[in-house]
Chains A and B, each alone.
Chain A
Amino acid sequence: SQTIHQWPATLVQPVGSPLSLECTVEGTSNPNLYWYRQAAGRGLQLLFYSVGIGQISSEVPQNLSASRPQDRQFILSSKKLLLSDSGFYLCAWKGTGDSGANVLTFGAGSRLTVL
Chain B
Amino acid sequence: AQSVTQLDSQVPVFEEAPVELRCNYSSSVSVYLFWYVQYPNQGLQLLLKYLSGSTLVKGINGFEAEFNKSQTSFHLRKPSVHISDTAEYFCAVSERGTGGFKTIFGAGTRLFVKA
Contact = CB atoms under 8 A, between A and B. Distances in A.
Contact of A102 (B36, B43, B101, B104): B101
A42 B42 CA distance: 16
B57 to A, nearest CB: 12
Interface stretch (A14-22, A79-87, A105-113): A105-113
A41 interface: yes
A109 B41 contact: yes
Interface residues of A, number: 30
Contacts of A57: 97-100, 102
A98 B94 CA distance: 12
Interface in A52-97: 55-57, 59, 90, 92, 94
B49 A94 contact: no
B44 interface: yes
B51 A43 contact: no
6 contacts: A36-B105, A49-B102, A50-B99, A92-B43, A100-B32, A103-B49
